[in-house]
A and B are shown apart, each in its own frame.
Chain A
Amino acid sequence: MQQQCLVYDRSLKFSRIIYGVIALIAYFTRNPWLVLVIGILMIIEVFSVRYNLFYHFHFFILRKLLKDKSEPIKKESKELAFTCSLVGSLLFIGFLFSYLGKFVDFAWILVLLVAFLMLLASFTGVCVASMMYALSKNIFKR
């Protein structure tokens, strides 16, 4: 039995774009605290999409302003949790390395990579994390 939820894809993508942009800003300004903030927000979202502020901002305000009439789509709750936890973990690792001063270059490259992949997912619909979730689901099913 799969647990599913209805989400507005555009609102979710909007929140990912904001996170990606913040991550990019963090990379260019070499600010590890911004990275930590995004990491924490992603980790919180693991428990429910309800805790995504940018999602609600788009859903309640921007959707009405832009007169967006798109329908919600069904997504597995576990998939959302997986992607958020993966991104959050990577960002947290990046923060840790940059904060502790170990492998700093690697940490910032990691943050840049995560930002790029988040923006890629938002603009093109290709989510690497979702694909990894699908792969792992297939592997563990067997």
Chain B
Amino acid sequence: MKRVEKIKTLKKEKIGQSEYINENCWLTKTLNYFPAPRCRYCELRFRNCLFSQYLVTSLILTFVLFVLSFLVEGKISKLVIISIFVLVIVYGRFFSKSTEKIIEANFAQRKAKEALEELAKGLEDQVEQRTKELREAYRKLEKLDEAKNQFLMATQHHLRTPLTSMRGYLDLIFSGSYGKISPKIKGTILRFQTSTSRLIKIVNELLDISQFQLGKKVVSLQSNVEIEPIFKEILEELQFTSQTKGIYLKLEKPTEKLPTIEADPEKFKVALSNIIDNSIKYTTQGGITIKFQILDKKLRIISQDTGIGISKEDMKTLFTGVFERGEEAKKVFTTGRGIGLYISSKIIEAHNGKIWAESDGVGKGSTFIIELPIS
């Protein structure tokens, strides 16, 4: 005996722990310890315990044999009684060991299952928490994005005003309103005018982007808009640029009259100009061909060029708000900003149309296709 302790009551321990007492079993509760190791993992009542059934059976057998031993005479009968006693003990021993193993294994399985469930719940809680945090962060980013766009819009308005007045005054000087000017100064003023116009164009494009991103209405659709005159205007404006580069720019006239569409003529012209201008920039030899196709209630405008082509990676971000140009594009035209196609795609979408590009790869030209509903 190790030591004597005076203990008031054993504190309640969890099942499986060294001082666990099964409150449902009157025997363990009364004795205040578990009589067998398997009782550590048991929550059954005493009458449901397999071992108690064995105990009752063996006690009854013992009593019967006890009585029989008085009634039966002879050594053999005594030997039989003793053999039965021995069998009961041996059976009990093996029964006890096997049930212990089974109960311990079941308990271990149960514990593992509970641990897994707890882990899963813990993970679920974590995922929920992270999702909440992400949603919150996303909301904040959306607000910041909107604030940025509002700021950009306001800034661009303030930029446009002085630029417009600059161009106005330049036009007046060029027209001779402030007196005759020498050819040398005229040339300088012309270059100044060109730069100012380019700057105004950039500011307008940035303004359009801000409006698109804020979800504002950028186009005012008109019905029965004819396309041919718009194309003629664009070709007239860009013919000089293409001729300077030594590439052709041709329009394949349709065999039948082109149908009218619902469009904002000004914005539609900007979208088409951007696409064709883009093709001119990235074509060094050959040229650009514009074709038309009339499909089932849809009009397709196809701009095919023999330019640098588009790789698969660049195709993914072509019309997105990621203002990154492809590597090949940067080699050919170093000063571009990459926003022209984005604006064109937004304008075409606002016209209830679709725009996409096709290319066989780098150096194999590209085809831009615009599909619009016929009004």
Chain B residues with CB under 8 A of A3: 4-6
Q: Is the CB of B58 within 8 A of A126?
A: yes
**Cα of A127 to Cα of B28 in the assembled complex, Å:** 13
A139 to chain B, nearest CB (A): 11
Q: Is the CB of A125 within 8 A of B35?
A: yes
Nearest residue in B to A116 (C-beta to C-beta)? Answer: B85
Q: Is the CB of A120 within 8 A of B92?
A: yes
Known: A106-B70, A113-B66, A138-B30. Is A124-B4 also a contact (CB below 8 A)? Answer: no
Q: Mark B23-59, 1 if CB is under 8 A from A, else 0.
A: 0001100111101100000000000000100110011
Chain A residues with CB under 8 A of B30: 134, 137-138
Q: Is the CB of A5 within 8 A of B2?
A: yes
**Cα of A57 to Cα of B209 in the assembled complex, Å:** 95
Q: Is the CB of B93 within 8 A of A113?
A: no
Q: Mark B73-93, 1 if CB is under 8 A from A, else 0.
A: 000000000100100111011
Instruction: Decide if A2 is an interface residue (CB 8 Å cutoff).
Output: yes
Give the contacts of A38-67 with B (CB-CB under 8 A).
Answer: 48-50
Chain B residues with CB under 8 A of A137: 30
Chain B residues with CB under 8 A of A6: 1-3, 5
Q: Which of B4, B27, B82 is in CB contact (< 8 Å) with A131?
A: B27
B26 to chain A, nearest CB (A): 7
Q: Is the CB of B26 within 8 A of A138?
A: yes
Instruction: Decide if B96 is an interface residue (CB 8 Å cutoff).
Output: yes
Chain B residues with CB under 8 A of A120: 58, 88-89, 92
**Cα of A116 to Cα of B65 in the assembled complex, Å:** 12
Instruction: Decide if A73 is an interface residue (CB 8 Å cutoff).
Output: yes
Instruction: Decide if B322 is an interface residue (CB 8 Å cutoff).
Output: no
**Cα of A109 to Cα of B71 in the assembled complex, Å:** 12
Chain A residues with CB under 8 A of B2: 5-7, 72
Q: Is the CB of A4 within 8 A of B66?
A: no
Known: A113-B62, A116-B85, A117-B62. Is A2-B31 also a contact (CB below 8 A)? Answer: no
Nearest residue in A to B34 (C-beta to C-beta)? Answer: A73
Known: A4-B5, A4-B7. Is A130-B31 also a contact (CB below 8 A)? Answer: yes
**Cα of A113 to Cα of B70 in the assembled complex, Å:** 13
**Cα of A1 to Cα of B27 in the assembled complex, Å:** 18
**Cα of A133 to Cα of B62 in the assembled complex, Å:** 19
B116 to chain A, nearest CB (A): 29
Nearest residue in A to B81 (C-beta to C-beta)? Answer: A112
Q: Is the CB of B18 within 8 A of A71?
A: yes
Instruction: Decide if A119 is an interface residue (CB 8 Å cutoff).
Output: yes
Q: Which of B32, B82, B89, B92 is in CB contact (< 8 Å) with A76?
A: B32
A-B contact pairs, 30 of them (CB 8 A): A2-B32, A4-B4, A4-B7, A5-B5, A6-B5, A50-B1, A72-B2, A73-B33, A77-B4, A79-B31, A109-B66, A109-B70, A112-B69, A112-B82, A112-B85, A113-B62, A116-B62, A116-B85, A120-B89, A123-B90, A124-B54, A124-B92, A124-B93, A124-B96, A125-B35, A126-B58, A126-B92, A128-B59, A130-B35, A131-B55
